[in-house]
Structure 1
Amino acid sequence: MTQLTTPGIAGAFDLTATGDGRHTARVDETWQGWSGPHGGVVAALLVEVALRAAAEPLPVRAVDLRFLGRPATGVLEFAAAATAVGRNTAVVDVRAEQGGVAVAAAAVTLGRTVPSEVATYAGAPAPAVPAPEECAEFRLPPEIVPAGARFEIRPASDVLPLTGSAERELRAWVTLRPEGGGADRFPIDAAALAILADALPPALFAALRAPVAAPTVALSLYLHAEPVAAQPVLVTTVNASTGGGWSVDDTELRARDGRLLATARQTRRVLG
């Protein structure tokens, strides 16, 4: 597994080294989510910083993110420390701060691709869905979620947010829309997948008629396949459980050819 790290994601947020393993990045208002910068963007920047901090360019295998505060749009500062785990694995601990206060932290696991006698297993078959061009576009209201304009979302099922559905599952082809177009700048690598894993509304929204605030508290991302070139990604988000002011979503991300690229689990507070 190779890691496609290009100036795309890092350049879009002006990720800059400031010395001593520290970096800064800027997330502007067009990436505003429900109550702060889009959570997937924060995750993507933590991944990019971890890759820069690693002693060698190993592929990303897993990301374990926790929000420690309420970040705001604007400048984020990052610090990272890498630890080698044997010859083939490294763990990079990354923190994001604003004004000297920690707002997010992640452990990013990197791992070398090595030969194995164990048979390859690519996961369950992909669901049968229409091609992206056969699906009508769905737009998130920019007055509620400005970051929605950064995604082209084409639902691949009849279940839509805020329709009071009996099903708690959202499935759509999602494409990143960077500023000024040029989506081909963004290969679907670990950083891009971190953004796409948080692209759809919470799956519980399928069962609701009106939105509620549901900020992310924890996000775990697991990589399964080689990065691919820029393309629509099939994102399926299922509400695993909701209760007591908490909600958990499980998300699957697949390439256009059906390959399983990543899975994610997201824990949210439900404020309503």
Structure 2
Amino acid sequence: MAHSFDDAIALTELERTGQRGRFSGTVTDAYQNMIGPFGGVSAAMLAEGMAKASRDGLELVSITTDFMTGMTEGPFDLSAICHRAGKSTEFWAASIKQADSASPALRATGVFSQRRETLEWTEGEMPVVPAPDDCTRFVPPRGWGERIDIRPATNTDIFNTDSTANTLWAKFAEPRALDPAGLVCLADTPTPRIFFVAKSFVPLSTISLTVYLHASADDYAEAGDDFVLLDVNAARGGGGFYDQHARIWSRSGKLLATTQQMVWFKAEKA
């Protein structure tokens, strides 16, 4: 039986010619959020489509997803096109459109490449935080919240803090080995930073999410289906938008990904 996440991002190839690909999929209710699917799952759909269309042997290095409108339950078409293919790197763009819409609901750009043996370094270290078993699970009141196990580790009282910074553990509630699509999905799990500032729940919507994937095949294998740690903060908000940043670490201390997003919000000036 397939994992619920794999079911949610499953695609059927309709056409693949040269540097183009077209696929079909279905939005289910398993990972529903306020407006359509959870953003991390939507981004993973696009990552999956571009990965299926790209050349064998290439890995996802970065993806930027723009959320232009919500998706409804039912079928969708995903189109992908390679804008440039080099010896070891390809630059892709993809979009998702549903039959009842004149324009795409989502679009993304992705870079795929072959990783090589090179000089390596990591700036900074994984924060020291309580282990997942010592943290209380938080279940967002949406369908996707049951599917992802989220455990805030520090600065857990989001309505009683002077900072937008906190850490949280996250993994799929139903065990699933980590891979690029799963890492893209988990990058969108942090509680919106505007709640920390407004001290309440306010209307919001992510408009753009970027994930830079640093993990090697060995890193994915070592992480397995265990928790990853997200170290999150926001730099500035105002004018109806704010940014949000996170570093994603394996339990062993490997930096797996860095991510940032821009979020639209609606909150009265204090």
Name the TM-score class by shorter chain. Answer: 0.7 to 0.9
| Cα deviations by residue, 1:92-146 (Å, 9 ceiling, x for unpaired) | 2111111253111111101112233xx3102311111111112122222x2xx33
Once residues 160 and 47 of structure 1 are traced to their aligned partners in structure 2, the CA distance between those partners, rounded to angstroms, is: 33
Once residues 203 and 267 of structure 1 are traced to their aligned partners in structure 2, the CA distance between those partners, rounded to angstroms, is: 11
- Which residue matches 2:128? 128
Residues 74, 165 of structure 1: CA spacing in aligned structure 2 closer, same or farther, 3 A cutoff? farther
RMSD value over aligned CA atoms?
1.8
Residues 194, 271 of structure 1: CA spacing in aligned structure 2 closer, same or farther, 3 A cutoff? same
- Which residue matches 2:197? 207
1:244 partner letter: G
The alpha carbon displacement at 1:12 in A equals 4.1
TM-score by length of 2: 0.87
Once residues 152 and 91 of structure 2 are traced to their aligned partners in structure 1, the CA distance between those partners, rounded to angstroms, is: 36
Correspondent of 1:150 among 147, 154, 161: 147
- Which residue matches 1:4? none
Correspondent of 1:253 among 248, 256, 263: 248
- Which residue matches 1:197? 187
Q: Could you tell me whether the CA contact under 8 Å between 2:127 and 2:231 is conserved in 1?
A: no
Q: Could you tell me whether the CA contact under 8 Å between 1:217 and 1:268 is conserved in 2?
A: yes
- Compare relative contact order (CA 8 Å, sep 6+) and give the higher one, 1 or 2: 1
Q: Could you tell me whether the CA contact under 8 Å between 1:170 and 1:203 is conserved in 2?
A: no
Residues 36, 15 of structure 1: CA spacing in aligned structure 2 closer, same or farther, 3 A cutoff? same
Equivalent residue pairs, number: 254
Corresponding position: 1:243 with 2:245: no
Question: Residue 240 of structure 1: SS of its match in structure 2?
Answer: coil
Q: Could you tell me whether the CA contact under 8 Å between 2:155 and 2:165 is conserved in 1?
A: no
Unaligned runs of 5+ in 2: none
Question: Residue 31 of structure 1: SS of its match in structure 2?
Answer: coil
Unaligned runs of 5+ in 1: 1-6
Q: Could you tell me whether the CA contact under 8 Å between 1:123 and 1:260 is conserved in 2?
A: no
The alpha carbon displacement at 1:84 in A equals 4.1
Which consecutive segments of 4 or more residues in structure 1 shift more than 6 A? none
2:149 partner letter: E
Question: Residue 104 of structure 2: SS of its match in structure 1?
Answer: strand
| Cα deviations by residue, 1:165-191 (Å, 9 ceiling, x for unpaired) | 1111231111112xxx3x1xx322221
Corresponding position: 1:174 with 2:176: no
TM-score by length of 1: 0.87
The alpha carbon displacement at 1:76 in A equals 2.5
1:167 partner letter: S
Residues 114, 175 of structure 1: CA spacing in aligned structure 2 closer, same or farther, 3 A cutoff? closer
Matches within 5 A, 1:1-272: 9-20=5-16, 21-99=21-99, 101-116=103-118, 119-140=119-140, 142=141, 145-161=142-158, 163-177=159-173, 181=174, 183=175, 186-226=176-216, 227=220, 228-272=223-267
Residues 123, 225 of structure 1: CA spacing in aligned structure 2 closer, same or farther, 3 A cutoff? farther
Q: Could you tell me whether the CA contact under 8 Å between 2:8 and 2:30 is conserved in 1?
A: no
The alpha carbon displacement at 1:204 in A equals 2.3
Residues 74, 155 of structure 1: CA spacing in aligned structure 2 closer, same or farther, 3 A cutoff? same
Residues 232, 54 of structure 1: CA spacing in aligned structure 2 closer, same or farther, 3 A cutoff? same
